[in-house]
């Protein structure tokens, strides 16, 4: 039997697919990327906005049309919030709420009468890979969130905080490394709150990963800025921790931050940014900004534009506020007109793009270690490009005369230019990659 796994939304949803892939393999269920060959389809849905919920409904229907014979299993935040609505969609065969998604393989076993005893993996350190690529894997370290930001529905959908044990996480990392993964991303709903329910913390987890695994590159998904202790950035003295963090601020206005129930002021955020860059060379900070939150004035907007400039974000995700029923923000007065929200979003995007250009230009001439991902792309008859990410998470490309497979290899390069037309860095190798077991792929690409 074969299963097709797919997810909408956050990196946590992606990490859960990896976990299910490993668990399902014990029942001799193979992972397939061909939906038409699947006996089962698992969709991990999203409901962070009304648009995300709409897309989840649309995707359920699309998956059923693509393979109506497959058993369609639907889980995730949309399911947890709108279970009756999901049950009425044609093709849905099994619904698993977030509350029970950790038992998803067992629930499928019971529903579809699989063998009572799972088949053990042939090798104790082996695990099937389910990643969008085979270079980077997302590790779910916790679920749920204790905070209640007024715009967020996810904390309601995901429930209370629960953390995995450090040993469980370490075992997964070792298994993924044995399967060839070079980079992990620690992810969760509230990453910075890891361990509060099991008497540990994110700092201790990172120390354990550095001391007890050899995974070459370690990253973090989004971390709330107020969760980081003063000594956290000392950990980055170990070069296996990549010099990049996504620290969402959401607004540059303290008044709006209070209305959002965010636990950070703009001045505190900037002190954190300065501390990180004082301690770590070329540290890249990316962030989120919401445009048009209820009650946002032109002055509040200007403060958000200012913080993008002052923080020099390497990238800024701009979200236009979407009124989400079930959240406190949906009931706030002074909701912003849709046209004004669009105009403000455009201003924020323009500022973010200008700042990102400066960030890329500042990388020119620097030596970087790039983890290349996927097969090269053909640009024209005699040019190919391989893509990857620098340590500080700038995307870069290496242009070649031949289609050479550099995927899943970390290669020392020099940044030669910032290609601002496509917002990528152009690099050249500082070493001969022929001894890296690279493969010519011209015939495959032809």
Same domain, 309 and 161: yes
Same domain, 405 and 430: yes
> Could you say which of 311, 328, 361 is where a domain stops?
361
Domain contains 166? yes
Question: Furthest-apart CA pair in the chain: how many Å?
Answer: 63
pLDDT value at 443 more than 80: no
Residue ranges of E strands in 265-341: 284-291, 315-320
> Could you give the number of structural domains in the chain?
3
pLDDT band at 122 (very low <50, low <70, confident <90, very high): very low
pLDDT value at 136 more than 80: yes
Do 21 and 129 contact (CB within 8 A), yes or no?
Answer: yes
Residue 58: CATH number of its domain: 3.40.50.12160
- Rounded CA-CA distance 214/175 in Å is 11
Do 99 and 80 contact (CB within 8 A), yes or no?
Answer: yes
Domain contains 122? no
Core vs surface per residue 358-376: b (16+ CB within 10 A) or e: ebbeebeeeebbbbbbbbb
Lowest mean pLDDT among 26-40, 44-58, 103-117, 400-414: 103-117
- Rounded CA-CA distance 271/267 in Å is 6
Q: pLDDT (tens digit, 9 = 90+) per residue, 185-226?
A: 999 999 999 999 999 999 999 999 999 999 999 999 999 999
Domain contains 34? yes
Residue 438's pLDDT is: 58
- CB-based contacts of 356: which residues, under 8 Å, 6+ apart? 313, 314, 315, 316, 423
Domain that holds residue 440: 367-445
Domain contains 118? no
- CA 407 to chain CA centroid, Å, is 20
| % of the chain beyond a pLDDT of 70 | 92
175 secondary structure, DSSP code = H
Residue ranges of E strands in 327-441: 367-380, 383-389, 395-400, 404-405, 410-419, 424-429, 439-440
- Rounded CA-CA distance 95/73 in Å is 6
Q: Measuring CA to CA, which residue among 441, 283, 280, 289 is closest to residue 375?
A: 441
Residue identified by tokens 């636990």 is 263
pLDDT band at 120 (very low <50, low <70, confident <90, very high): very low
Same domain, 379 and 355: no
pTM score of the predicted model: 0.84
């Amino acid at each position: 039997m074969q299963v097709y796994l797919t997810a909408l939304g956050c990196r946590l949803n992606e990490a859960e697919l990896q976990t299910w892939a490993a668990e399902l393999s014990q029942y001799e269920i193979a992972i397939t990327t061909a939906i038409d060959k699947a006996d089962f389809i698992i969709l991990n849905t999203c409901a962070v906005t009304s648009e995300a919920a709409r897309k989840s409904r649309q995707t359920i229907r699309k998956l059923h049309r693509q393979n109506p014979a497959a058993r369609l299993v639907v889980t995730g935040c949309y399911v947890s919030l709108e279970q009756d609505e999901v049950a009425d969609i044609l093709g849905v065969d099994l619904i698993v709420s977030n509350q029970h998604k950790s038992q998803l393989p067992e629930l499928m076993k019971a529903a579809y009468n699989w063998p009572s005893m799972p088949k053990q993996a042939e090798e104790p350190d082996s695990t099937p890979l389910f990643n969008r690529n085979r270079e980077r894997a997302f590790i779910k370290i916790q679920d749920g969130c204790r905070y209640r930001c007024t715009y967020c529905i996810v904390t309601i959908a995901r429930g209370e905080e629960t953390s995995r044990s450090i040993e469980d996480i370490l075992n997964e990392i070792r298994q993924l490394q044995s399967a060839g993964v070079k980079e992990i991303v620690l992810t969760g709903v509230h990453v910075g709150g890891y361990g509060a329910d099991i008497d540990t913390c994110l700092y201790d987890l990172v120390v354990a990963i550095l001391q007890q695994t050899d995974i070459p590159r370690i990253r973090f998904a989004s971390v709330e800025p107020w969760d980081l202790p003063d000594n956290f950035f000392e950990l980055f003295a170990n070069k296996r921790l990549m010099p990049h963090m996504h620290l969402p601020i959401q607004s540059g206005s303290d008044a709006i931050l209070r209305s959002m129930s965010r636990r950070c002021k703009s001045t505190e955020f900037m002190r954190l940014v300065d501390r990180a860059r004082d301690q770590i060379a070329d540290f890249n900070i990316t962030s989120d900004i919401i445009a048009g939150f209820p009650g946002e004035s032109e002055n509040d907007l200007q403060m958000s534009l200012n913080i993008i400039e002052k923080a020099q974000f390497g990238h800024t995700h701009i979200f236009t506020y979407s009124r989400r029923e079930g959240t406190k923000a949906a009931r706030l007065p002074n909701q912003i007109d849709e046209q004004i929200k669009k105009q403000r979003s455009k201003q924020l995007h323009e500022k973010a793009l200008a700042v990102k250009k400066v960030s890329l230009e500042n990388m020119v001439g620097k030596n970087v270690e790039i983890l290349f991902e996927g097969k090269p792309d053909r640009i024209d008859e005699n040019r190919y490009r391989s893509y990857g990410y620098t340590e500080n998470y700038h995307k870069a490309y290496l242009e070649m005369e031949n289609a050479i497979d550099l995927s899943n290899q970390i290669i020392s390069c020099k940044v030669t230019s910032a290609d601002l037309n496509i917002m990528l860095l152009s690099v050249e190798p500082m070493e001969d990659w022929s001894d890296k077991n690279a493969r010519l792929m011209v015939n495959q690409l032809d």
